[in-house]
Amino acid sequence: MKNLNEKQLETKIKIEFFAKLFGVDPSWAVSVAMVESALGTAQKSPTGCLGVFQMSSIAMKDLLWEMEKIDDDLIDIICGIAFLRLLRKRWKTMEEATNHFCDPDDRSFYLDRVKRYMATFGA
């Protein structure tokens, strides 16, 4: 599409990338997102749905319920990373985000273990 602005083009590229990873027709995914939000990230529907795909909380719960039944490492990885990103945004620091990723009973040792692995993996 020639009339896309820079932000829309970036969103289109992201959608195409992840659609291919999940085996979804990229043109279908982009087209649905275009109808839902014109590839915008800040749009809000009259029913309160947000984002590029205007996913409702009911749709998200349904998706998450189904993903629990699927043995698909890629979905788990993407959801895990997305959840870490959400926690970092919410809690501002990696330390606080990590503390909210684990069970509250495990906080006494969990963060230290994560930091040791980060040192090992070069972070």
Alpha-carbon distance of 27 to 113, in angstroms, equals: 43
44 in helix, strand or coil?
strand
Looking at residue 93, its pLDDT comes to: 93
Looking at residue 71, its pLDDT comes to: 62
Q: Tell me the CA distances in angstroms from 20 to 6, 23, 26, 61, 113, one per residue in order.
A: 21, 5, 6, 23, 35
Could you tell me which residues come within 8 angstroms of residue 77 by beta carbon, excluding any fewer than 6 positions away? none
Looking at residue 85, its pLDDT comes to: 87
Q: What is the pLDDT along the chain (123 residues), one digit of tens a residue?
A: 568 899 999 999 999 998 888 788 899 999 999 988 888 877 778 887 878 888 877 787 787 777 767 666 667 667 777 888 889 999 999 999 999 988 889 998 999 999 999 888 875
As to burial, measured by CB atoms within 10 angstroms (0-12 exposed, 13-18 middle, 19+ buried), residue 98 is buried
Judge whether 12 and 39 are in contact, CB under 8 Å.
yes
Q: Which amino acid is at 37?
A: S
Looking at residue 70, its pLDDT comes to: 66
Alpha-carbon distance of 72 to 17, in angstroms, equals: 18
As to burial, measured by CB atoms within 10 angstroms (0-12 exposed, 13-18 middle, 19+ buried), residue 4 is middle
